[in-house]
Amino acid sequence: MQELSHLAKTAGANVVGTLTQKLDSPSPTYYIGKGKIGELIALKEQTNYDTVIFDDELSPRQQRNLEEVLGVKVIDRSALILHIFARKARTHEGKLQVELAQHQYLLPRLVGQWRHLERLGGGIGTRGPGEAQLETDRRLIYKRINLLQQKIEGVRKHRTLYRGRRKETGMPIIALVGYTNAGKSTLFNTLSKASVEVEDRLFSTLDPVTRRLALPTGQRFLITDTVGFIHKLPPSIIAAFRATLEELEEADLLLHIVDITHSNAANQCLTVEKILSELNLEKKPKITVFNKLDLALSSEAELNVLTTIPFLEEEILLPSDGVALISAAKGWGIDGLLNKIACHL
């Protein structure tokens, strides 16, 4: 719920309250029980909210029923993430991918858009204008989806050619992955002296950025900053961003950045590993980089003498070839990380 609140604030909302319920399974009619609906209505009188956001994906039926009974806009987690992505997209490619995901999300939810017209002109041998409008909208959205898929396929082919040219140089590729807001862009900037947008908001990086760097040994490599992952990432997002996520397939090494100070760090780490597995990248060489140690320690000297770190409910022994401890913001542990990268390459 804290993460949902953070997502809502990132989208520009002012959060005035939260409500939770324990159920064996969601109600197919309203997602929550009727008693909770009563509590929501009472909260409306107290807080005067105009939007309700649910932490799971609602079915079109659940969303329509909730909007009718609450009299306010109802959105789910998927719609919220799509809204943030739409605001963050800067490049032509990013905008195409977000629009495709939005249309795929909207398509099954069209039915309720024209119900106020379905009662007009309906009778034996006739069709209501709502039904005709619905079919028109469906055709338009299908047509738009096909066009967007063609454009994205063009982007994908262009990226494939670009990656082919990069491979010809023989330069290894390193990709940063991790939960959103784990500090990937901060590390990217520290390593490359770039000016990628960094802010304490979810999904501050949406479009991939690549820079050419050199190790202390003189060996050159390419490093790519990619979109952050998140729990319950909508499948439509993963599908739409296939062209971008293919950057990970071409990488010789993944740096999995983890915000070790986050109270839910273990689950965030597992979420990233699960998505990597869904992308068939679980066997890709990887260094786990525990970041933001400056928030837990007072100096880099403490970082250098650290031998264990509590994580995933057990102590992880350090140092390890597969683990690095850093503070990307302070620059702590960067030399050690570069040494590990050099050893791997």
Residue with the two structure tokens 């064996």: 24
pLDDT for the residue numbered 8? 92
Closest CA to 243 of 88, 95, 87: 95
Q: What is the CATH number of domain 2-84?
A: 3.40.50.11060
Q: What pTM was computed for the model?
A: 0.80
* Beta strand extents in 12-148 (DSSP E only): 51-54, 73-76
Q: Which long-range contacts link 259-262 to residues 24+ away (Cβ below 8 Å)?
A: 259/178, 259/179, 259/181, 259/182, 259/183, 259/291, 259/292, 260/290, 260/291, 260/292, 260/293, 260/296, 260/309, 260/311, 260/325, 261/292, 261/293, 261/295, 261/296, 262/182
Q: For residue 79, how many other CB atoms are within 10 A of its CB? A: 22
**Helical spans, DSSP H, in 91-169:** 92-106, 115-118, 129-168
Domain residue extents for the chain: 2-84, 89-117+128-170, 171-344
Closest CA to 2 of 299, 262, 186: 262
Number of H helices, E strands in the chain: 13, 10
pLDDT for the residue numbered 100? 87
Q: Name the stretches of the chain with pLDDT < 70.
A: 111-132, 194-207, 240, 242-244, 310-320
pLDDT for the residue numbered 313? 58
pLDDT for the residue numbered 147? 93
Closest CA to 329 of 225, 199, 210, 180: 199
The Cα-based distances of 145 to 35, 117, 133, 190, 205 in angstroms read 40, 26, 18, 39, 24
Q: CA-CA distance, 106 to 93, in Å (whole number)?
A: 20
Residue 195, helix vs strand vs coil = coil
169: which 2 tokens?
């140089």
pLDDT for the residue numbered 117? 37
pLDDT for the residue numbered 296? 83
pLDDT for the residue numbered 101? 86
pLDDT for the residue numbered 316? 64
The CATH architecture one would assign to domain 171-344 is: 3-Layer(aba) Sandwich (3.40)
- Fold: same for 2-84 and 171-344: yes
Name residue 175's amino acid. A
The Cα-based distances of 340 to 319, 329, 333, 336 in angstroms read 10, 19, 11, 6
Q: For residue 17, how many other CB atoms are within 10 A of its CB? A: 11
Closest CA to 202 of 175, 222, 221, 184: 184
